[in-house]
Amino acid sequence: MFKIKPFKNTIITFTVAGILFINPIIGQAELGDQVLKKGMRHDDVKILQQHLIDLNYLTIKETTTYYGDQTVNAVMEFQSSQGLDVDGTFGQASFKALQVLLELEPLVYNRTLKEGMEGEDVQALQERLKFLGFLDIDNCTTYFGSQTRQALVDFQKTYGLKVDGIAGAETIETLNNNKRKLKPSANRGSSRNSSLGENIVSTAKKYIGTPYSYGTSSSKSFDCSGFTHYIYKKHDISVPRSSADQAGVGSEVSKKDLQTGDLVIFSNTYKSGPSHAGIYIGNGNFIHASSAGGGVMISNLNSGYYSNHFTFGRRVF
């Protein structure tokens, strides 16, 4: 836990030649151990103000011990950006949110990250973009797909950087320097282009009847995840190759909330865990490369077999 001057008012005693000396040292209480509000004077206010300055919520020439209007407004802006109740009072909820920001590990720039790459640095990048409100996914992964690229594009546009969807030195530095969460916009996160979903389905239907072949992903034959990987790639959407990995991309969608073009995942078919994938085409139907059916075909999610094995949808664009 992040702590600042974790000592309270302390009485220090010592003796010299048998004489007892008492030296009162008035220390600062730990930030977060009391509610700070308008009108108060306390050393903790200075600490709070400095953090708000560092996070670009407060602009003042010099910190003070007084909790005035400027501090109230800065705290309100901070609370709003963190999705907290906005009252201008710095209580436990605000303190915990501040701790999270202060404890964020800086991203380390070792290489330029772009779509198609994999690594722990990709996951760290996703976690920062998700924290800032630019990436709407349930679980961050080590794979740099189209969603990560779009999140970077949105971030770069917001902060006036070169818009290329690539995490270079300047973008990483800007990510490290900006710890303010932004409210999701209508063009970010789970919002999607319905026409793109229709185009994906249109492309997928062109391959109806293409033979099933395990381990393949080409226009001549597919396995289930090879088919979804191939179709999404044609629309510049990167998903992993295996159905198990595809089950972790994008954001989770329930059956009732499925939309055209969503990835659908099935589990415990021929092996335990996520083991089959397809693309939702609307009206309860999905298109997939079926081993039992011998190739690419359309099936219904509510049929006995697929209803029993359906796990969730994934929104990947």
Q: Is 235 a catalytic residue?
A: no
The CATH code for residues 10-102 is 1.10.101.10
Q: Specify the CATH class of 194-315 in words.
A: alpha beta
Catalytic residue (one of 51, 140, 224, 229): 224
For the chain, give every residue range classified as CATH 3.90.1720.10: 194-315
What's the residue count for the chain?
A: 317
Q: What pLDDT, on a 0 to 100 scale, did the predictor assign at position 12?
A: 40
| Comma-separated ranges of CATH 1.10.101.10 domains in the chain | 10-102, 104-187
Contacts of 19 (CB under 8 A, 6+ apart): none
Could you tell me which residues come within 8 angstroms of residue 241 by beta carbon, excluding any fewer than 6 positions away? 217, 225, 226, 229
192-to-56, 110, 136, 249, 262 alpha-carbon distances in Å: 31, 32, 12, 15, 10
Residue by residue, pLDDT tens for the chain (317 residues) are: 444 443 334 334 444 444 443 333 233 457 888 999 999 999 999 999 999 988 888 889 899 999 999 999 999 988 887 878 889 999 999 999 998 888 888 899 999 999 999 999 999 999 899 888 888 887 888 999 888 998 999 898 888 889 999 999 999 999 988 776 654 444 444 444 567 888 899 999 999 999 999 988 888 999 999 999 999 998 888 889 999 999 998 888 899 999 999 999 999 999 999 999 999 999 899 999 999 999 999 999 988 899 999 999 999 88
**CATH assignment of 104-187, among 1.10.101.10, 1.10.20.10, 3.30.70.260, 1.25.40.10:** 1.10.101.10
Give the predicted TM-score (pTM) of the model: 0.47
Question: Is 224 one of the annotated active-site residues of the chain?
Answer: yes
pLDDT at 193: 55
Query: What are phi and psi for residue 93, nearest 5 degrees?
Result: -65, -45
Q: Which amino acid is at 151?
A: A
The predicted structure's pLDDT at residue 92: 93
Read off φ and ψ for residue 263, nearest 5 degrees.
-75, 135
Q: Please report where in the chains the tokens 């992040």 appear, as a residue.
A: 2
